[in-house]
Amino acid sequence: MKEWHIQETTQTSTILIDDVTILKGNQLLWQQLIDSFQNYFSHKGTALKIYQDQTLLPRNDFEFIIFSPNKHFDSAALDKVVAQLKKTFLNQLEFSPFYKGLVDSWDELVDEVDFLNQQNSSKIISFKLEPFDKKWISNELTFSKNNYLKLSNFDKLIFQLNLLESDLASKQRIICIISPENFLLSYELEKLDSYLSEIKNGIKYLVITEQHFNGSINVLYKGTIRNVLDCYKVKEKLASGLPFSWSDEQFLAACNWYMKLVDNYQTKTVLLNLKTVDNLEAFTYLYSLFILTDTTLIVDLTGIPLNLASYFDNIIQSKV
């Protein structure tokens, strides 16, 4: 798992990046950021900078592909790959004896046209046959969609992904899949999740979705990117101030609750009370995480002992 620090003109955000990275929340904002990523990696004008850990990410080393699944095979990224595969196929075709025979026959036909022109006694008009042009074959050599159109939507998506994955580019590829739930049914989304989790091809996948996928999860909560790294950044401070013994198990559970709540609320404000979690200790960890990470919430302290309420006040005051 890596950290991408996204430095924009007015702010810096951090995204957790893994083989599969999930981007949840306001899809319009995510797509705007993804468009900036593409500009960055394609050397177009952008003020955005991306640091992996502390090192500026070398844009020359990556190929960034935005992919919106659709049944019509309508994608600039797919068209580019098909064009490359077609060029390779055409080069192989040129070694075929039938291709060579066609070119030789065409040359002979050109000579035959010239001969007939010379034999034409009227001399009123003559005809010319253009020399053989490889472009003629290229124009007629098209991707056969007959079998493709018979596939299920899931198999179409995997076919399209396989094409993008088969590209022989020397750069490391990052494929961003946008809203697969607009194309697939629930059980097909589960199959896609399994496919992405199991495939090990060196390609990194970003998935903009509101569905459950396994991977490093990043949530846009009230316009700010949130992930479990926020919790780990304040772990030491949390451990040093707790009014009871530290528990790694409780901390991990609180991190999971934190991510679940910011995901569930996204554009709304998280509502937290003692009934949100299982017990008082879990509530203490969770509320402390929200305070220490400066994550907006509305909290109801009904049922919270005075000593814990005082502990929370002290944390809040330390943040001022």
Domain that residue 202 falls in? 2-73+157-217
The answer as to whether 151 is a domain residue is no
Structural domain contains residue 146:
no
39 found inside a domain: yes
Query: What pTM was computed for the model?
Result: 0.85
147 occurs within a structural domain: no
Q: In this predicted model, what pLDDT tens digit does every residue of 214-230 receive, in sequence order? A: 999 999 999 999 999 99
Same domain, 62 and 165: yes
pLDDT digits (tens, 9 = 90+) for 24-47: 999 999 998 998 898 898 877 778
Angle ∠(26,259,295) on CA atoms, nearest 5: 80
Q: Is 212 inside any structural domain?
A: yes
Give the total residue count for the chain. 320
Strand, coil or helix: 191: helix
Indicate the residue among 107, 140, 173 that finishes a domain. Answer: 140
pLDDT of residue 233: 94
131-146, pLDDT tens digit by residue? 999 899 998 888 777 7
* 18 and 165 inside one domain: yes
> Same domain, yes or no, for 38 and 109?
no
pLDDT at 168 over 60: no
d(CA 125, CA 319): 94
How far, in Å, are 46, 79, 104 from residue 76 at the CA level? 21, 5, 37
User: For 47, how many CA atoms within 13 A lie in the half-sphere containing its CB?
Assistant: 6
Q: What is the number of domains present in the chain?
A: 3
Considering the domain architecture, whether residues 170 and 111 belong to the same structural domain is answered as no
Name the percent of the chain lying above pLDDT 90: 58
For residue 318, is pLDDT > 90? no
